Structures are given as C-alpha cells and as structure tokens.
Amino acid sequence: MIIRNHENWLRMLFVWKGSVLRTIIPQLALLLLVALFALFTDGAIFGEKILPDTTPFTLIGLTLAIFLAFRNNASYQCYVEARALWGEALVVSRAFASHLLCFAPAVSHEDRAELVKRIIAFAHALKSQLRPVSMLDGAPRADSTHAAASDPIATAKAYPAAAILHEMRQRIAALTTAGDVRDTSLYVWNQHIDELHAVAGGCERIASTPMPFPYAVLVHRTVYTYCLLLPFGLVNSVGIFTPLISVFLSYTLLALEAIAAEMAQPFGTTQNSLALDSIVRHIERTLLEMCGAPLPPPIPTRDGYELT
C-alpha cells in the first residue's frame, strides 16, 4: 500500500510506483501495433475500409463511459466501506480496552491485560483471514513479532477472528460466574464483542462478494473491442497521429478498468490496496500503550510504501 504525501503536479506526471501503467503495458504495446497497422493500410483490410468515420465511436463511447463510471463507483464504494470498517475496528478496540482496564476491579490486572491482548490478536487474525499471503512487489512481509500476533486459536480455526472473539466471551463469562464482573460491565463488554463481530462480518462480505462476472466480462470485452477498432476510425481524421492518440485514449480506458479491478479487492496485496499492516500495527500499539506494555515499532515507509 502506498502511503504518500501529495506530490507536485510535475512529479505526478512521471509517477511509476502505484500507477496501473505497469500492468497494462503489454496491452498498450499490442494496441500500438494495431494502430501502426491501421496507419500503414489507411484503415483498410483487404482493400475495404473498416470504419470510414468516427460516428460509431461516439455512440459506443457514451455507453462505455456509463459502464466504466458505474463499475468504478461500485469498486470505490467497496474500498471506502472496507476502510470505514477498519476505522470502526480501531475505535471499538480502544473503547473495549479502556473498559476492560478501568472497570471490574475484582478482575486482576493480568487478566484484563490478557483480554486486551486478545483484541490485538483479533485484529491480526482478521487481517490474516482477509489477506492470507502478505506480499509487496514479490517480497514476503513479516507480521508483528509481538506475542499477540501468533495465536494458537487463530492458527487452528477456519475463521480465526470469530474464534478469538468467542473465546474472549467465554473468558468473560467465566469471570462473571466467579462474581468478578458486574452486570453493567458484562453488558458493555458483550456489546463491544458484538461490534467487533459486525466488523469482521462486514469485511468478510466485501472479500467474498466480487463484481458480478457477466458484468465484468461485458465491460472488459467492450473496452478491448473499442480500443482495437479505434485506430481504424481515427486514421482518416488525424492521419500520422493515429498511433499516439489511439494509444493515449486506450490508456485512459484500460487504466480505469484496471483501477476498478484493484479497488474492488481492498484487502488484496496490490500497491493500491488498504494498508492493513499499518492499520493493525496502529491498533496494536495504541492498545499496548493503554496496558503500559512495550510498544513494537510503527510500520516504516520507504519511497511511499509501508514496509515490515
């Protein structure tokens, strides 16, 4: 994930890391060859003009713009909702930890601190569940070295985040049975656990609900058909500039489709996915600080990218 301050306008023109350009270079190279072919043949195949003017592109372009706008909006909604859920996880985790540490004086400080560490383990488990392999540019990325990051419950369950929350509720129930927790605290703690369950469920819903396949195929086919035919329609009006203009227009359409595909999977490992490592480390640090425990270092960055 890129963590970058706003660049000036000139550097933005030449940004390479984080741009989808690197993923669509092969397609643009193919379209350049098609544009050169259209230029040298004057837009004709076997002596017949394929498209004598650009009128069809005006009609198709309007429909294509609507399709791409809808898909990009839907993908961005997934991204924003995913970030909002992790923001909620941070808020609920802080409130939950504060309640655990400040109330129920009959519970030992060690037991309360252990429950707080279970919240940290939940964050790590949810991240690992959503993104089983943490990679960036082909290099493996280590998780937190803190004890809460490697949890025996999380490694033994298919849904580790829910398993950790269930185990926390069992611990709290045992403390309640022993008379160490008052009903008011029990109600608040249960409410926080339910809120974390809702966060996990929302993230699972986003991760398991991709863009409907027929719609993605329709947009994909339309974009590539439009880009392949575009040089044959432009050659009569722009002449020698056909390769330049057609490749540039193709870049905008292919890039929009690639961006939509990346943002539809916000928990992925692409450069534009959510910075889950940084978010989870932030949750870990703020909760350990409440406990008065040593803090792991924050996620460092280099060239605008989070590193571990």
pLDDT tens per residue across span 80-112: 999 999 999 999 999 999 999 998 888 888 888
Q: How many domains in the chain? A: 1
Per-residue pLDDT averaged across 59-86, rounded? Answer: 90
Helix axes 55-102, 183-207, angle to 10 degrees: 160
- Structure confidence by residue, pLDDT tens digits, 257-294: 999 988 888 998 887 889 899 999 999 999 999 998 89
Provide the angle, in degrees to the nearest 10, between the axes of the packed helices 276-291 and 55-102: 10
Burial 118-132 (b: 16+ CB within 10 A, else e): bbbbbbbbbbbbbbe
**Is 247 contained in some domain?**
no
Quick one: tokens of 10? 């000139």
CA–CA dist 86, 88 (Å, integer) = 5
In a domain, 42, yes or no: no
Residue 296 lies in a domain: yes
105 is in which domain, residue-wise?
A: 83-209+274-300
Across 101-105, 154-158, 252-256, 268-272, the highest mean pLDDT is recorded for 252-256
- What is the overall mean pLDDT for the chain? 84
For residues 261 and 251, what is the distance between their CA atoms, to the nearest angstrom? 15
Residue 297 has phi, psi (to 5 degrees) of: -65, 150
Rounded to whole angstroms, the Cα distance separating 107 from 60 reads 68
CA distance 236 to 246: 13
Q: If DSSP states are collapsed to H, E and C, what string results for the chain?
A: CECCCCCCHHHHHCCCCCCCHHHHHHHHHHHHHHHHHHHHCCCEECCEECCCCCHHHHHHHHHHHHHHHHHHHHHHHHHHHHHHHHHHHHHHHHHHHHHHHHCCCCCCHHHHHHHHHHHHHHHHHHHHHHCCCCEECCEECCCCCCHHHCCHHHHHCCCHHHHHHHHHHHHHHHHHHCCCCCHHHHHHHHHHHHHHHHHHHHHHHHHCCCCCHHHHHHHHHHHHHHHHHHHHHHHHHHHHHHHHHHHHHHHHHHHHHHHHHHHCCCCCCCCCCCCHHHHHHHHHHHHHHHHCCCCCCCCCEECCEECC
181 falls within a domain: yes
Phi, psi (rounded to 5 degrees) for 168: -65, -45
Structure tokens at 138: 């082909």
Question: How many other C-beta atoms are found inside a 10 Å radius of the C-beta of residue 98?
Answer: 14
Residue 58 lies in a domain: no
Position 305 in a domain: no
Contact of 254 with 223, CB cutoff 8 Å: yes
The pTM is what? 0.84
Residue 150 included in any domain: yes
The pLDDT confidence band at residue 142, using thresholds 50, 70 and 90, is very low
Give the residue among 76, 190, 89 at the shortest CA–CA distance from 130: 89
Q: What mean pLDDT do residues 196-222 have?
A: 91
Whether 289 is in a domain gets the answer: yes
